[in-house]
Amino acid sequence: MMKKANELKGEGNAFYKEKKYQKALGKYTKIFLYINHLALPQDLKQMVGNRAPDTGNVKPEDVKKLQIIANQNCAMCALRQLKFDKSVDFSERNIKALKIDPEAPKARMIRGRARLRLGNLEGARSDLLFAQKHFPKSDPIKSDLSELKKKFKKVRDKQRQQYAGMFDR
């Protein structure tokens, strides 16, 4: 199962490099079909007894690592396809649902970039500033923070204009 999942990851990476993001996303999402059952908690395996799928010699940390990578790759494919909601969803799988990496800096970077494009400025600022601490030399983060600053300025200017004469009466 892990062998097939890693093959799918390699195929997805090849499509991603060719900028065939939809095909890459298809390969990355198939990974979950092969590995999610490998990460069953031990107590659940004991409850179902011999009906639990055999995980062989697969280590749970290897499964979790591949889940992280697959979710991040899915999030990047969605971001590249301008499917920002999906990108946020995949990023949040790493951050919240999987609870694999409590900080998840790469997932937060991707989520921040998607949130910026969705107009969630506060959420984008939080994620991008967090990611910047982990990736201080990242040009995409610097660019997005610069764009974020411009968008916040636009919002402030619009609010000033909107409320300019409100208290003059």
**CB hemisphere CA count around 95 (13 angstroms):** 19
Residue-wise pLDDT for 59-79, tens only, equals 878 888 898 899 999 999 999
Closest CA relative to residue 125, chosen from 138, 141, 104: 141
Tokens of 157: 């200017």
Cα distance between residue 55 and residue 60, in whole Å: 9
Q: What angle do CA 99, 16, 58 make, to 5 degrees?
A: 45
Residue-wise pLDDT for 88-145, tens only, equals 999 988 777 556 666 788 889 999 999 999 999 999 999 999 999 999 999 999 999 9
Residue-wise pLDDT for 34-56, tens only, equals 887 765 555 544 555 555 455 56
Cα distance between residue 66 and residue 22, in whole Å: 20
